Amino acid sequence: MILDVAARRAELTPDADAVHFEGRWYTYAELDDRATRLAALLHAEGVRKGDRVSILAWNHLAHLDLILATAKGGFVYTPLNTRLAAPEQEALGAYLRPKLVLHDEPHSAVAAAAARGADAPTLELGAYGKQLAATDPVPPPDPGLGPEDPQMILLTGGTTGLPKGAVLPFRQGFYNAINTVLSWGLRPDDCAIQATPAFHAAVNALTIPLLHMGARVVLQSSFDPGDYLAKVEEHGATILFLVPTMFHMLAQDEGFAAADMSSVRWAISGGAACPEPVREAYRSRGVRFKQGYGLSEAGVNCFSITLDRAEQRPQSVGKPVLHARAAVRRPDGSRCEAGEVGELTLAGPHVFSGYFERPEETAETLKDGWLWTGDLAVVDEDGFFTIVGRRKEMFVSGGENVYPSEVEAAIYDHPAVAECAVLGVPDPRWGEVGLAAVRLHPGTTLGEDELRSYLKERLANYKVPKSIRIVSELPKSAAGKILKTRLASQLGGDAA
């Protein structure tokens, strides 16, 4: 047995507002009705338990229709990254083999490529809406689902090569929601805006847990800072969840200083460490801020920290959520001492099943019941965890380990810096040295020597980037993360 969230919430709070999309609220009864109609529609089209159904679209109610309908039809929600090009979509279609590809009008061409790779039909969302309305809300036959049956396949970052599909079973989705509700202290009167891409694991950060709670979610089709601020005011958003780049863009918006954010209980940043100047911008508006951590393979909410402790330890993500364990390990699997940097490993029912049809990569990631995340972390004597960077991003300069996130934090402290990224690149003398790409705030100037002198007052000399490039923009993923491999290629070299 698995939990049919849509059906249970329709029983408990049928008339409560659930999701706001395109100018209107949908109640929990309406969400359940849509999910039932969708499951019936797909069953009539031959979609069965374990089949993948993909969607290529901006944030749309259809994403949530699909997620909620998985419990009724047994198919697997398998969204595709809207940022990828047609050849990449075709390759992903051949890999994931969805039975159907839903899409919005702007992504018709790339959806056709994905469908071509899978030899599957496509369905535009306008036609989808009409078919849904015409379908009788009669549930299909019980697919006989259990906790380990897959509910979602979410693509990993894919910054190098074809992304892998992380298989998330119903067990994982349930415990991620429970962990988030209980450890983050979510309430039935909470409201959040889903502005990060719904095809990304971030849809599980707040949207799905809030739907478990009977709370409210506002869908923003794509992130726009001014519109986001307007939605915060209009709907009384209580929790802000964005990635650092989005938080920065929001703080730079002309309406930020005057926006009414009195309803906001707290803000939480995910995807990467949030720079101190960005956090300070929200503190100046009375918004309390904390750092989150997660990854597609584990849910995405793995740690929790109270607001008071977050202000005392602004770099820390806190301690593991209720149903989770965490340990920092050396390459041989032994546990690190307090203060020693190692790889973060996680265990618990919120961990994924493995990568879709990638047994070797699964075996490299899941070892003896622990997920090896690829992220470097340190835990202090009080048990608080801090993420210091990606294992593959760390580089060794003159025999010393350099963690790009530490260097980036120092660069962000300069008032002229809007965004930055630090890479390790080969060097004939030192083995590897740092290369920093920096985007400045409009109207400011900053020379390479000036920034290097600034950093030498804050960092050991071996940590100061040997090369600094001032750039007009930094390449980002759809989730707002800076793509360092692509950046290295753009700058004419390879990341070490």
Which domain-ending residue is among 145, 161, 188? 145
Among 50-64, 148-162, 466-480, the minimum mean pLDDT is found in 148-162
Q: Is residue 286 part of a domain?
A: no
CB 66 within 8 A of CB 99: no
Is 493's pLDDT higher than 60? no
User: Which amino acid does the sequence have at 2?
Assistant: I
Q: Is 352 left (phi over 0), alpha (psi -120 to 50) or beta?
A: beta
3-state secondary structure of 204: helix
Place of tokens 């740092």: 434
In the predicted model, what is the mean pLDDT of residues 348-359?
97
CATH number at residue 69: 3.40.50.980
Q: Is 304 left (phi over 0), alpha (psi -120 to 50) or beta?
A: beta
Q: Is residue 109 part of a domain?
A: yes
Q: Is residue 162 part of a domain?
A: no
- The overall average pLDDT reported for the chain is 93
Concatenate the DSSP letters of all residues of 330-396 into one string.
-TTSPBPPTT--EEEEEESTTS--EETT-HHHHHHHEETTEEEEEEEEEE-TTS-EEEEEETTT-EE
Quickly state the pLDDT bin for 28 (edges 50, 70, 90): very high
CA atoms within 13 A on the CB side of 478: 25
CATH number at residue 460: 3.30.300.30
Q: Is residue 325 part of a domain?
A: no
Place of tokens 């083995």: 431
Place of tokens 């990449």: 88
Which domain-ending residue is among 115, 145, 175? 145
Q: What is the pLDDT, as a whole number, of residue 478?
A: 67
Which domain-ending residue is among 90, 110, 145? 145
Residues of the domain holding 21? 5-145
pLDDT digits (tens, 9 = 90+) for 150-188: 999 999 864 446 789 999 999 999 999 999 999 999 999
Model's pTM, two decimal places? 0.86
Q: Is residue 298 part of a domain?
A: no
Residues 6+ away with beta carbon under 8 Å from 280: none
CB 94 within 8 A of CB 70: no
Q: Is residue 175 part of a domain?
A: no
pLDDT digits (tens, 9 = 90+) for 194-227: 999 999 888 999 999 999 999 999 999 999 999 9
User: Which amino acid does the sequence have at 95?
Assistant: Y
